[in-house]
Amino acid sequence: MGIEHDREEPVMGALAYSGALWILAFLALTVVFMLPTLIGLIRRVDRLALVFLVNVIGGLTGIGWLAAMILAFGPRRRPIAPMSSLSRAR
């Protein structure tokens, strides 16, 4: 038992001090933090700027992040209506 523990410790220490692990962890946390904005962007919500501001300003509280997530699932932008027959006649 003691021998296995001694072998694992240097590997875990090397992993903890590797820059790649910390960069990957930072990127993953950033994606999770910005998830409401990303969802709003993909869904093309009506008030994307509001989703972004609530996410950035209040996201760290948890309540702000939840509010931004709710806003991200809000109403979507309507597609632009085709030109009417009256405007084509000109």
Could you list the pLDDT tens digit for every one of the 90 residues in the chain?
A: 555 555 556 777 777 778 888 899 999 999 999 999 999 999 999 889 999 999 999 988 999 999 999 999 988 766 666 766 555 555
Q: Is the pTM of this model over 0.85?
A: no
**What is the structure's pLDDT at 71?**
92
Residue 56 CB neighbour total at 10 angstroms: 14
Locus of tokens 């084509």: 88
Structure tokens, 25: 């962890």
Are 47 and 60 in contact by the 8 Å Cβ rule? The answer is no
**What is the structure's pLDDT at 49?**
93
